Amino acid sequence: MVLEPEVTIGQSLVLINTNSGQKAECRVVAAKPGRDGKRHVAFEFTSADLNFWKMCFPTAGTKPMRRTMKVMFGAISTTEIVR
């Protein structure tokens, strides 16, 4: 994450997901200065059972889902392609 304020490794932060309003405590694990003067900060959540980003991942060993895609071709004139 890119931050303007200075942070130190081991520092505790509280992140707020602006979409859900959920708050989560995390700890800074790396901080490097960027060219723009801001800091690139890596952090880890203090709670492992948290779904802060509201993302779902398949369980280990799950086979990939195969989707069939119907392709429809319409009539296209050569003048439309050349544009």
pLDDT of res. 27: 95
Locate the domains of the chain by residue range.
1-49
Per residue in 4-62, pLDDT (tens digit) is 888 999 999 999 888 888 899 999 999 998 888 788 999 999 987 778 888 887 888 88
Q: Quick check: helix, strand or coil at residue 50? A: coil
78 pLDDT tier (thresholds 50, 70, 90): very low
